[in-house]
């Protein structure tokens, strides 16, 4: 009997960390998704040039209808093994509602949708950020961050960010860490795991755009990094690969910081 293909699904598959993850999983059955079909096709074509095979479908992660199409595509094309959720935007996007929807509401909609496909051994890896760790725990907003689909969640968080899109990004990223804690029991009941990964400054299109907007701050962060450099997308992809593997079989409901050690120094700045 032929064994079913075990699919690795990567959102933000055309982005910096998404592409590096696709390369790390080059021998697996890869399903890429990103905002537009043009981006997805380009990413698949680029991988093909390196001898890597992937299939894909466009999905705007803020559209529940698109997410339904994505999960159907995944079900129609093998057995779900892992969701690697890298799609996101930074504070360089100034539309606060959009940042919240893309970086916090959409991750939970995806977590819920892929839970339906999850079975024993499935894994969800959700890309957060070291900046999520700069937002301290608080009973004033953690409930809202843990329930981003609830009415009034965004309005609650807006009170704490002083209109700053960068600050909202940080809050949303704290929210994704809380989501992995919240969903671990449910995923665990199926023998499945859910983990967040918090990158430091990574040299991808997103990282480079942020560096352009805040060059002095970025230089300061680099200087404050114990390992003395910015991260590369592969630094994250290698950790994601480990987390999806059976070697990480007892890790769930937590967050792994991959930042060259800088976040503790940032908190003191
Ligand atoms: N690069 C960094 O320095 C850094 C640092 C910390 C955390 N992160 C996080 O890592 C993840 C990946 O970042 P990256 O550096 O690869 O960014 P990137 O900009 O290279 O890639 C992000 C991808 O997300 C896609 N995307 C954006 N909105 C979408 C939507 N509505 N629907 C579907 N796709 C959408 C984009 O098209 C893009 O391909 C993000 O969640 C980011 O917040 C990055």
pLDDT grade, residue 268 (50/70/90)? confident
Q: Write the pLDDT tens digit of every residue in 98-129.
A: 999 999 999 999 999 999 999 999 999 999 99
Q: Given a cut of 60, is residue 1 above it in pLDDT?
A: no
5-21 average pLDDT score = 97
Q: Give the per-residue pLDDT at 3.
A: 62
Ligand 1 center from residue 227 Cα (angstroms): 23
In this structure, the number of other CB atoms found within 10 A of the CB of residue 37 comes to 13
Cβ–ligand 1 contact at 57 (below 6 Å): no
Q: Which of 206, 207, 229, 236 to mutate to test the pocket of ligand 1 (most atoms within 8 A of CB)?
A: 206
Q: Please, what's the b/e burial string for 112-145 (b: 16 or more CB within 10 A of its CB; e: otherwise)?
A: ebbbebbeebbbbbbbbbbbbbbbeeeeebeebb
* Interior angle at CA 90, CA 71 and CA 212, nearest 5: 140
Ligand 1 center from residue 204 Cα (angstroms): 9
Query: Domain locations in the chain?
Result: 6-259
Q: Give the per-residue pLDDT at 4.
A: 76
Residue 96's closest CA among 161, 152, 151, 36?
161
Cβ–ligand 1 contact at 12 (below 6 Å): yes
Q: Which of 13, 58, 86 to mutate to test the pocket of ligand 1 (most atoms within 8 A of CB)?
A: 86
Q: Write the pLDDT tens digit of every residue in 222-264.
A: 999 999 999 999 999 999 999 999 999 999 999 999 999 999 9
63-67 average pLDDT score = 98
How far is residue 154's CA from residue 158's CA, in Å, rounded to a whole number? 6
The catalytic residues are 169
Cβ–ligand 1 contact at 71 (below 6 Å): no
Choices 3.40.50.720, 3.90.25.10, 3.40.50.150, 2.30.42.10: CATH for 6-259: 3.40.50.720
């Amino acid at each position: 009997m032929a064994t079913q293909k075990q699919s690795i699904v990567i959102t933000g598959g055309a982005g910096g960390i998404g592409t590096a993850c696709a390369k790390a999983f080059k021998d697996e059955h890869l399903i890429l998704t990103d905002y537009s079909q043009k981006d997805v096709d380009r990413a698949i074509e680029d991988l093909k040039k390196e001898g890597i095979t992937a299939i894909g479908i466009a999905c705007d992660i803020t559209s529940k209808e698109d997410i339904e199409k994505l999960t159907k595509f995944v079900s129609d094309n093998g057995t779900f093994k892992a969701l690697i959720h890298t799609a996101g935007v930074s504070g360089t996007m100034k539309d606060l509602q959009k940042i919240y929807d893309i970086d916090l509401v959409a991750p939970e909609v995806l977590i819920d949708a892929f839970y339906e496909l999850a079975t024993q051994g499935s894994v969800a890896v959700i890309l957060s950020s070291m900046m999520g760790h700069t937002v301290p725990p608080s009973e004033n907003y953690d409930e809202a961050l843990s329930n981003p689909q609830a009415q009034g969640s965004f309005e609650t968080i807006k009170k704490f960010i002083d209109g700053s899109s960068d600050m909202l990004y940080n809050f949303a990223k704290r929210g994704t860490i809380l989501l992995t804690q919240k969903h671990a029991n449910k995923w665990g009941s199926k023998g499945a795991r859910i983990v967040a990964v918090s990158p430091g400054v990574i040299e991808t299109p997103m990282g480079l755009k942020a560096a352009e907007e805040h060059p002095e701050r970025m230089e300061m962060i680099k200087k404050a990094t114990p390992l003395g450099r910015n991260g590369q997308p592969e630094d994250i992809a290698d950790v994601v690969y480990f987390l999806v593997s059976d070697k990480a079989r007892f890790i769930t409901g937590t967050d792994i910081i991959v930042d060259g050690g800088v976040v503790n120094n940032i908190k003191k700045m």
